[in-house]
Each structure stands twice: as structure tokens, then as C-alpha cells.
Amino acid sequence: MAISMHVMAMSSYSVARAKNNLGELIDRALAGEPVVITRRGTPVIEFKPVRSRPRVTAADLQWLREQRSRLPYSDVDAVTLIRQMRDEEWDR
């Protein structure tokens, strides 16, 4: 059985060409196309989209309120407490 894989071709651009087409190259990278910038024919940079952080939702805030109300009083500061709660949730 033959397996067919779609492989997107990588685009390479010299620094000079990239400077003149930066907007287009950013759009291509955001669309998922691998974009590599070369200097004297050697790849030096690859454009990739930055992963954005997920936004905090109302459900997230409600969960936090519920967790806070279930905890006994503590001398631990809020930042440490939230990190501990986050780490507990991720360990599940």
C-alpha cells in the first residue's frame, strides 16, 4: 500500500529579496508555508508564526473563584498560590 504525503515546499529568499518583500513573507509564514532567509546561499533564519497565549475566559475565572473558596487561609502569596493550583491542574 502506497502512502501519499503532501509536503509543502520550503521557500528560500535572500536577505535583499526578503527586505523588499517582508510583508508577503510574513503572510506566507502565517499561512503555514515554511519561509527561510538565506545569507550568501546559507539558510540563517526561518519565519514561523508566534503561538499566542490562550485568552482567559469567564469559565476560567469562575474555576479560579471556586478553587479559591475551597482553600483554607494561607500565608502563601497570591502568585505562588496560583502557580501551585496551575501545576496541580496540569499534573492531572
Label residue 90 by pLDDT band (50, 70, 90).
Answer: low
Residue in 33, 34, 38, 31 with CA at minimum distance from that of residue 15: 38
Please give the pLDDT value at position 92: 59
CATH superfamily to which 11-47 belongs: YefM-like domain (3.40.1620.10)
Mean pLDDT estimate for the chain: 81
Q: Distance between CA atoms of 66 and 40, rounded to whole angstroms?
A: 58
Answer for the pair 21, 13: CB distance below 8 angstroms, yes or no: yes
- Collect contacts of 15-22 with beta carbons under 8 A, ≥24 apart: 15/39, 15/44
Q: Is there a contact between 18 and 25 (Cβ–Cβ < 8 Å)?
A: yes
- Which pLDDT belongs to residue 74? 74
- Which residues belong to CATH 3.40.1620.10 in the chain? 11-47
pLDDT tens string 19-55: 999 999 999 988 888 899 999 999 999 988 887 777 8
